Chains A and B, each alone.
Chain A
């Protein structure tokens, strides 16, 4: 219940938008918070000062540290607007259970912030890289991750709630997006970084991390991340598919078909056949052609059918490769086949629940893709075809 004792005027608080966790030198963790200097965000009050301030402290628990930050920062910190939690790779490999419990239990945090694993640099560095459009590094990253997930699908966009439920369930293992940095972090920490057309330091999405329970066990590249997202109802993505792959010899110029997936829906299934699990992925989707370098006549129905098949094959290969890689290299079920087995054959799942990851590693894979090519943009023939016709004449 709220009461006068909880009253916090807006000018008595400091809004935290990002939190970074690194391994501590003397104690267990090093926590960095990114607090907003709101005056810089006002239309009239902005003076070109630092838009955010960061402060780092070492301690054994995030809970203690979150209340100890006033050692260096003014005003009471409010964590409810934390948008990103940065976890450094070392911490992730050692297990994240120790502080996730605090984040979920305290009630100070909304559970919809993104969890990202940082690679290359300490997590704290990522809270300090300025960017001209979004002044707060964490707000920038949060928007960036959302847009990427929406437009192309290079980040699993994992939030606290998803992460924790994945840890709890034995039929699925958690994943988290990874970010990396290019450029000089020292220079990126200044407001002057905003004045360069090509910023001195830039944070970019860099695939994703694979967890076994609460410990990170490996990573996947950006392209493989999309492969993973196919199994999570990928919203939109764009594909470049070689259209002369079967007939062409290597000397010929390569042509690509540019397809945009507008919608995709996935069904995961798992069942046992002769004591060997069989997992299947069934994808339904719709696509449109956004551009073509191929000489095919798009007004013909059979060309559409061929293109559909090309797209289906491309997607199928991408998913198959990824699942086989995960099976072989990491042996953890990050897709949730165990969960769907649980739903489809609860008895069998209970038998194998404790060794599901091993079972998953030896599972037989079946991927089915059904894509419908809806239209070819706002024109039929490519003007390439017109040029070729003229050349022939």
Chain B
């Protein structure tokens, strides 16, 4: 019976499982202050942590003063704790009794001079510090406790990013630890105006979130909007920046990502320097950048490390690939089933000869193959590494050859599906291709029912939708629509770095000019160089 009633009362009891208000705050809502009595304090600590198995207490004595070290054993490095805290305290026990021991400041200076510390005066502060890996030293008859930062548990070392790989450029990527990540950014931007603000998100998870920006460059309006949206995040747990993204996006019901993400410090640093705002979350190697526009997703950091001619060429290829992923299969369906007259005669005859004896209509054929490919792709991401070989062999054989040889699909269709699939991988930001992948299926169905007319209709709707989107108030299609001439230097083509002197105008930054005008690099004057050689 009791379990039944709990089912019904569950939704009302909002604070179930959370650190209850009563325990930390008193009736007036003021945080509960530390008690002078050590026993009492320890008791309330034990209650707060609900007898969890990793809550540990070590009783200590400094002179004749009783005290206690308490910590969560899983959040700190125990050997560090031993050398930096427990060893000195053992020495303290042997020390002669003096009055000065009673002062907690003196204790800290005498025994832990090299350990970073904080003082906690309320239960709330101490709980928070313990959760973050501090060891707490409480002394009897003291209304403050000392929190020592021992150093956390093991973390992943910095590695090359696995999703956004480049050939030339820095190879380091973000890790799960937020402080390491901030360090990586600080390594790129050595500037006191680089500011990180701390937030705390997730009612239950209490995850640390930081926003980073350049003071004096960033647009304050956008910044306060970011602060506001982050403070409004209302979730039990925020485990990855993906969760944050969904909370702060301007529009949830869209296929297009409105927030840029990267696991590359150079990419994030570059964006911060442009006047954008980075959002870092403890526990996630992906850092968000806001505001971001459509064209951001066609740019890779490597664009700036290779010659600008190559970059311009590659950029155009990326835009084309996006269109190919989007429309290639549906164009095939529309043209082969409705508009035969659009094809050159030899191509038509060739396609027809391949389709002889294929039992399905073109649209079924292509949906079948596209779905098979999506299944393969998903399987490829999820499966254990060890069976990867099997999948690629089976996938290639089943999709590529066997289906054609069995006469289930035509040869050219495999080419169409494969080409559009490969083109979908060109986008430097993986989650952007999701838009193309999803819309593609709707387009195929439109093409099958209305021909080219249907494709055009959906594309028009898509463009209307794109135009209506905003990312933190910035129209998603800027600087193309609305058109901004000054920003064109780094959109479809990239001009040489020394010629790209302005920050994106659509951000309305406080410092719109990046660099002063300077003459392009050139060889030294001919005559002086020539003379030297003659001498």
Residues of chain A whose beta carbon lies under 8 Å from any beta carbon of chain B: 1-4, 6-11, 13, 15, 17, 36, 38-42, 45, 78, 80-81, 83, 110, 139
- B342-379 contact mask (Cβ, 8 Å, vs A): 1 or 0: 00011011111111111001100000000000000000
- Bound CA span A78–B339, Å: 11
Chain B residue with Cβ nearest A138: B345
**B-side contacts of A38, CB under 8 Å:** 349-350, 352-353, 356
CB of B120 within 8 A of chain A?
no
Using A9-B361, A110-B341 as known contacts, say yes or no to A4 and B449 having CB atoms under 8 A apart: yes
Q: Does B340 contact A (CB under 8 A)?
A: yes
Residue with the greatest number of chain A CB neighbours at <10 A, chosen from B336, B353, B358, B448? B353
Given A2-B452, A139-B345, are A15 and B352 neighbors across the interface (CB < 8 Å)?
A: yes
B interface list, Cβ under 8 A from A:
336-341, 345-346, 348-358, 361-362, 448-454
- In the assembled complex, how far is the CB of residue B456 from the closest CB belonging to chain A, in whole angstroms? 11
Q: Is the CB of A42 within 8 A of B337?
A: no
Chain B residues near A139 (CB, 8 Å)? 345-346
Tell me whether chain B's interface is mostly helix, strand or loop, or mixed: helix
Which one, A3, A4, A11, A41, contacts B358 given CB within 8 A?
A11
Of the residues B337, B345, B450, contact of A15 by C-beta under 8 Å: B345
A80 to B337, CA, bound (A): 14
26 contacts between A and B (CB under 8 A): A1-B450, A1-B453, A2-B451, A2-B452, A3-B449, A6-B338, A9-B362, A10-B337, A10-B348, A10-B351, A11-B357, A13-B340, A13-B352, A15-B345, A15-B352, A17-B345, A36-B349, A36-B352, A38-B349, A38-B353, A39-B353, A41-B352, A42-B350, A42-B354, A45-B356, A81-B340
Return the chain B residue nearest A80 by Cβ.
B341
B405 to chain A, nearest CB (A): 10
Bound together, the chains give a CA A17 to CA B452 distance in angstroms of 24
Chain A residue numbers with a CB within 8 Å of B338 are 2, 6-8
Contact between chains at B337 and A9 (CB < 8 Å): yes
Are the C-beta atoms of B341 and A10 separated by less than 8 Å?
A: no
Q: Which among B352, B450, B451, B453 has the greatest number of chain A C-beta atoms within 10 A?
A: B352
Please name the residue on chain A nearest to B336 by beta carbon. Answer: A10
Pick from A9, A80, A81: contact of B355, CB below 8 A: A9
Q: Which residues of A contact B346 (CB under 8 A)?
A: 139
| CB nearest to B339 among chain A residues | A2
List the B side residues contacting A6 at CB < 8 Å.
338, 451
B336, B350, B362: the one contacting A41 at CB < 8 Å is: B350
For A4, list chain B residues within 8 Å (CB): 448-450
Report the bound CA distance from A42 to B356 in whole Å.
10
* CB-defined contacts of A39 to chain B, threshold 8 Å: 353, 356
Decide if B349 touches A11 in the complex (CB within 8 Å).
Answer: no
Find chain A residues with CB under 8 A from B355 CB: 9-11
Contact B349 A78 (CB under 8 A): no
With the chains together, A8 CA to B451 CA distance in Å?
Answer: 11
User: CB-CB < 8 A to B448: which residues of A?
Assistant: 4, 7
Residue of B nearest to A83 (CB): B345
B353's partner among A7, A17, A42, A81 (CB-CB below 8 A) is A42
